[in-house]
Amino acid sequence: MELFWRQGYAATPLDRKRDLFLACLERYSQAVMDPMVGPLEAQGASATEIRQFFDRVLHLIQNPGDGRGCLVCNTAFERGAVDPAAARRVQQHFDRVRRLLGRALANARRDRRLPGDRAVRDCADHLLGAAAGAFLLARSGMANGLIRRFVETALQGLA
């Protein structure tokens, strides 16, 4: 903000805009994503925390007409192929969420809340895709009911 305020948009060099964008992406990660995935950080996180994570995803996108989706997912689509630094930040975020979901799924398996015929890693990948997909659907203006059904289908089998 200070940079644009001081220099104006046109006078701000492109590399400075990129630096500012990456800083904004980091701030978004701290302000929005950390609280969203925080409960999955607990060693004992299991099926309940996975469902709560998706409740937080759905809550974040429930405002009709908001259409913002997730800044990390938006960055993946808009900048991932052209900005290696942004792509690294997106990959770090996705890796973190996948790792946390995987650990919670392993705990759910231990707690007999995930069927034994489902590979934990595959389920973690699927749930990561469902979270990102929910944000993409919201960004594209799809109805909340459709997104909720999409998420519930992804969570089937998780007691």
Q: Mind listing the domains of the chain with CATH numbers?
A: 2-155 (1.10.357.10)
Q: Look up the pTM and report it.
A: 0.87
Taking residue 33's Cβ as centre, other Cβ atoms within 10 Å add up to 17
Give the per-residue pLDDT at 65. Answer: 61
Kindly state the tokens that stand for 126: 């699927």
Q: For residue 38, give the DSSP letter.
A: G
Give the per-residue pLDDT at 121. Answer: 96
86 in Cβ contact with 25 (< 8 Å): yes
Query: Looking at the predicted structure, is the pLDDT value of residue 39 above 90?
Result: yes
124 in Cβ contact with 98 (< 8 Å): yes
Region 17-46 average pLDDT: 92
Could you tell me how far CA 12 lies from the centroid of its own chain? Answer: 30
